[in-house]
Amino acid sequence: AGRKDREPAVSGANRTTESQMLRSPIRLLPAGKDYIWGGRRLKDDFSKDLPLSPLAETWECSTHPDGPSRLAEHPEMTLHELLREHPEMLGSHPAKSMPEAVKNGELPVLIKFIDAASDLSVQVHPDDDYAREHENGQLGKSEMWYVVDAAPGTSLVYGFCHTMDAEKVREAVRKGELEKSLQHVPVQKDDVFFIPAGPVHAIGAGSLMVEVQESSNLTYRLYDYHRIGKDGKERPLHLEKALQVADLTAADSPRQPMRVLNYRPGFASEFLCRCRYFEVRRLILNTQRIRTMASFQTDDTSFHVLICTDGCGVLSCNRLSMPFFRGDTFFVPADSGRICIHGIATLLDVNC
């Protein structure tokens, strides 16, 4: 069933008051992007009811001005507006590491679904120092990809297979031969890749991913297969900026992190990624054979974002119960207390 056919997250007498909202999970409505490489899977697999075709990305949890997410119960309000009024919902750790941004209600992370029906551009992201100096004080971009699904034979680009220099890259781009120098890495469902600022990279066709990143929209295109944009022209490259920030040395092939499942009643969890900007763990939920809900405790150090990549269930907190489905995303304020979950589902849990 499409999103419009589902029951609301909280309805009738169970509708949240403002005080409950400030300490309870909030279902979010995403912003969408219709980049030319996108497909239909976000609509078909996740019931993303957005009037865009193709639908390449949904910015599930975002306070970025290029695509802020909204509150499902109060769609007239963005998450940014709520956090600007109540920055304490972000927690003490973000407030300490990014005080000005938190004061303004800005999340340190941006979380997306990505449907790559065709290859994304070969690109690179600047680090924070370069972005602050050259991009009007913006953040750079380090990111993590979690592969929700991948077609057979899918790969991604990560770095160069041999060391390059700026002139060799310019020449390869001019001749349309850059692909010969790029390292291609096979991709499978449930893989995890951390992409710091600096390495050249690209998501390959057939990938369905969750991306967790710094709250930034800075991308420098190095190569784009001479594709034509909506204006009838080749999409612009940012070659010289890319060469200023790209790592041109031969890259080691990225390895999958060691992952250890920790079992608790009703669910198992595993860390996928931990860096200076965020940490991500996967929750594998199955409470069909236990009498009590699975649960975990939040504290005042950080908000959490829960994004369901498969299955469905019920999320409960502070006497409120909210059904969730594949593709749903919840912002959980810091110090919300105990979060209880019931169902059969896989979720990613992001915090800072």
The yes-or-no verdict on residue 13 having pLDDT over 50 is: no
pLDDT (0 to 100) of residue 7: 42
pLDDT at 1: 39
Residue whose C-alpha is closest to residue 108's, from 339, 327, 350, 300: 350
Q: Give the pLDDT score at 11.
A: 42
DSSP string, 13-39: GGPPPHHHHTTS-EEEE-EEE--TT-B
Asked if 343 and 311 touch (Cβ cutoff 8 Å), the reply is yes
Task: Give the tokens for residue 2.
Answer: 């499409």
Count helices and strands (H / E) in the chain: 8, 21
8 Å CB contact between 154 and 206:
yes
| pLDDT at res. 17 | 64
pLDDT-derived band at 292 (thresholds 50, 70, 90) equals confident
pLDDT value at residue 22: 82
Q: What residues contact residue 31 under an 8 Å CB cut-off, 6+ apart?
A: 58, 59, 62, 67, 68, 69, 70
Token pair of 208 as six digits = 């369905």
Bond into 94 cis (ω within 30): no
Active site residue 3: no
Which residue would you say has higher pLDDT here, 229 or 1?
229
- How many angstroms separate the CA atoms of 281 and 302, rounded? 14
Task: Report the predicted TM-score, pTM, of the whole model to 2 decimal places.
Answer: 0.93
Q: Which two tokens stand for residue 157?
A: 């680009």
d(CA 42, CA 30): 11
**C-alpha to C-alpha distance for 289 and 136, rounded to whole angstroms:** 54
How many Å apart are CA 198 and CA 208, to the nearest integer? Answer: 23
Catalytically annotated residue among 221, 255, 264, 274: 221
Residue 131 has pLDDT above 80, yes or no: yes
Give the closest residue to 239 by CA, choosing from 119, 124, 118, 158.
Answer: 124
Q: Which two tokens mark 236?
A: 């612009």
Residue 16's pLDDT is 56
pLDDT greater than 60 at residue 299: yes
Non-local CB neighbours of 80 within 8 Å, separated by 6+ positions: 63, 68, 105, 106, 107
Helix (H) or strand (E) holding 174: helix 166-175
pLDDT in tens, 61-72: 999 999 999 999
Output the average pLDDT for the chain.
Answer: 93
Task: Over range 267-289, report the average pLDDT.
Answer: 95
14: confidence class by pLDDT, cuts 50, 70, 90: very low
pLDDT, position 179: 94
Question: Among all chains, which residue has been given the structure tokens 């594709």?
Answer: 227
Q: Cα–Cα distance between 22 and 318 in angstroms, integer?
A: 11
Q: Is residue 288 classed exposed, middle or buried when 0-12, 13-18 and 19+ CB atoms within 10 A define those classes?
A: exposed
| pLDDT at residue 230, as a whole number | 85
DSSP code, position 234: B
Average pLDDT rounded to a whole number, residues 135-146: 96
Chain segment 83-122, per-residue pLDDT in tens: 999 999 999 999 998 988 888 999 999 999 999 999 999 9
pLDDT of residue 229: 87
Q: What is the pLDDT of residues 314-347, one digit of tens each?
A: 999 988 999 999 999 999 999 999 999 999 999 9
Proportion of the chain above pLDDT 90, given as a percent: 85
User: What does the pLDDT read at residue 2?
Assistant: 43
Whole-angstrom distance, CA of residue 168 vs CA of residue 121: 19
Cβ atoms within 10 Å of 237's Cβ, excluding its own:
17
